[in-house]
A and B are shown apart, each in its own frame.
Chain A
Amino acid sequence: MAEAATRGGHPPWRTRGEQAGRLSRRLLIPVLGIVLVVAVLVPVIARGGPRVPQPVAFNHRKHTQDLGLACDFCHRYVRTGAHSGLPDASTCSLCHSSPQGTSAEAARVTELLAAGDSLHFNKLFRMPDHVFYTHRRHVAIADLACATCHGDIDQTERPPPRALVTIDMAFCVSCHKAEGATLDCNACHR
């Protein structure tokens, strides 16, 4: 039997060892791929999404604590609009058009402003598309402190790479229940 099979040069079957080797080689690439994807995704998901880059290393503590600026000095629409608004070059240039302080980052801001950079800050806290949230309702009418949802953002000295608080529906609902606010679906989803 064995003779007849080997006569043609190629055995019609593979030995177990050969099969296993081929199988492991075939599996090697997908398994490596899955391991790589997991290795990249797990830290990203665990820490709440990708890093949010910012144009300059804004120091919230310096501005809000040491200089005593109110949140709505830069987040101008926090009491009137759905979005609180992010500052742009025109806001920064109220002070930084001339050199301020001693830090290298402040000097860089003045340089960037002089070069005509628009200083596009990126949103850190994002609501999903199906949530209709307004800052006016929560800040101006319900009189909530910013820290209620944004944590200690005013104490940070560098831009945090990710949101300090994970805002999910359980977070909203727990407060709505405690405060006796609406629990009507339509109030937030439509």
Chain B
Amino acid sequence: MTRWGMVIDLARCTGCAACEVACKSENNIPTVSPDQAEMGRATSWMRVMAEPKGAFPDTTLEFYPRPCMHCDNPPCIKVCPVRATYIDPEGIVGQIYPRCIGCRYCANACPYTVKYFNWYGPEWPESERQYRNPDVSVRAKGVIEKCTFCHHRLQKAREDARAQGRQLREEDYQPACAEICPTDAIVFGDLDNPTHRVAELKEDPRVMRLMEDLGTQPKVYYLRQRT
């Protein structure tokens, strides 16, 4: 059974935020002005969280790239009154925008705060309109949006593989963040397929998941910094 998941090696992450940028450009996420961002109105499906470590003067920043965890036991789908968010048979937690009524229960249920509400309609500078991705919708005002593991890429990769009459390979389907990561800190693949790199990496002794004690069973694994 396919279970798509991600392993992020924190020892490799430099906090460059290329994943954030790639994600925004892939998924038609509008940018907002700095003062709007200050008011918490920026949307970032992938966000590089920085956490200071140690006591002054021996301080460092530890970076946690944080996409949707695509939990195997997602708290968000339990509270959705209209089944606009659901987990598909391959473990991707989807958000169906035309069905979402904007109640924001899921955003409040998510312990990882990866769900974003569209308080305003998307605004695009005229010069950027033509660079939007036609495979991804532009979300309207009043719906929740979130990381989809670039599900549209999976569909396209499946189609390509079927058109060429072959099996889907690991490299065929990579989300934008994993593809762009310059240090290869983000690895993506099928957790249940022993030939995929993630299946091996998730058995690493450094492995941990965020807020594991909540029982959400996230499919995004982190490899701790080497000490």
Contacts and interface: CB of A to CB of B under 8 A. Distances in A.
User: Is the A/B pair a real complex?
Assistant: yes
Interface of A: 82, 129-130, 132, 134, 136-137, 140-141, 184-187, 189-190
B96 A185 contact: yes
13 contacts: A129-B137, A130-B97, A130-B137, A132-B135, A136-B163, A141-B159, A141-B162, A185-B96, A189-B97, A190-B94, A190-B96, A190-B136, A190-B137
Q: Helix, strand, loop or mixed for chain B's interface?
A: loop
A140 B155 CA distance: 15
Interface in B110-156: 134-137, 148, 151-152, 155
A190 B151 contact: yes
A184 B88 contact: yes
B86 A185 contact: yes
Q: Which of A184, A185, A190 has the most CB of B within 10 A?
A: A190
B205 interface: no
Nearest to A82: B134
Contacts, number: 44
Given A184-B88, A190-B94, A190-B137, A141 B151 contact: no
B135 A186 contact: no
A189 B99 contact: yes
A136 B135 CA distance: 14
A185 B136 CA distance: 14
Given A184-B89, A190-B137, A136 B159 contact: yes
